[in-house]
Amino acid sequence: MSGSLTGRTAFITGAARGQGRAHAVRLAAEGADIIAVDLCGPLPPAVPYDSATKEDLDETVRLVRSAGGRIVASVADIRDLEALTAAVDEGFNEFGRLDVIVANAGISPPQAWNEITPESFRDVMDTNVTGTWNTVVAGAQRIIDGGRGGSIILISSAAGIKLQPFMVHYTASKHAVTGMARALAAELGKHAIRVNSVHPGAVNTPMGSGDMISAIGRTLETNPQLANMNTPFLPVWIAEPEDVANAVCWLAGDESRLITATAMSIDQGSTQY
């Protein structure tokens, strides 16, 4: 590793496993200190996959330290701005600065349009949109006050570029995140803060655990002709979390210093037709 983030601090949500853990480990390997949070508890009822645990977050702590990084980890719900702000404050008091925000946490319940309840629609929007907003609000002023500029990276989805069949609420939320990144880039640019969105397609994470695969299958039965909407161009159908983390790491560092308000797809071309 090149140490491209040495001396910087990154705040990462959803860090207990999957993409969030990969971001934490990758940035730590480049020298960053990590402020990590995760819900580590029950997910909303419509979500069919297993939730992360405190033990998962503890493993992220171990892996970050093994990569040579320092880390402050907390259990927090991104829907709770007060809890997120407390987590950032704890990390800031430990490391003395904040430079990077990675708003990674989110949920993805497969449901046909007419099976989405008001409660499940609200849960998705509260988590993926309001939670992403809370993540930025909890840390952005710290970056501004540092006077060094920084990078904010919102993890959207291929569904924020094209769509994800049988997930109207998820698609709406991820399009909102895409727009949020562009609007924040405009306002925060005067502080030399860059804001970009990252758009993974299918990624090999625990989001595919529990009843997720069978839930997707059940929704597909309602409209089989949508089955191949997100077929990739490349022979690799599913990315690894580290593939996304590599892009996040690049956006966090100086090599992307003029990149802002950009939507970066990591989907093997699946959203391009």
Active site residues: 170
Report the half-sphere exposure of 64 (CA within 13 A, side-chain side).
Answer: 30
Give the H/E segment covering residue 265.
Answer: strand 263-266
Residue 161 near residue 265, CB atoms below 8 Å: yes
Report the half-sphere exposure of 266 (CA within 13 A, side-chain side).
Answer: 22
Closest to 145 (Cα-Cα) out of 9, 12, 253, 13: 9
Alpha helices per DSSP H over 96-201: 118-125, 131-146, 168-188
Task: Please tell me the total number of residues recorded for the chain in this structure.
Answer: 273
The neighbouring-strand residues paired with 9 are 33
Strands 100-103 and 71-75 come out as unpaired
Q: What DSSP string runs through 50-99?
A: PPP-HHHHHHHHHHHHHTT--EEEEE--TT-HHHHHHHHHHHHHHHS---
Report the half-sphere exposure of 137 (CA within 13 A, side-chain side).
Answer: 14
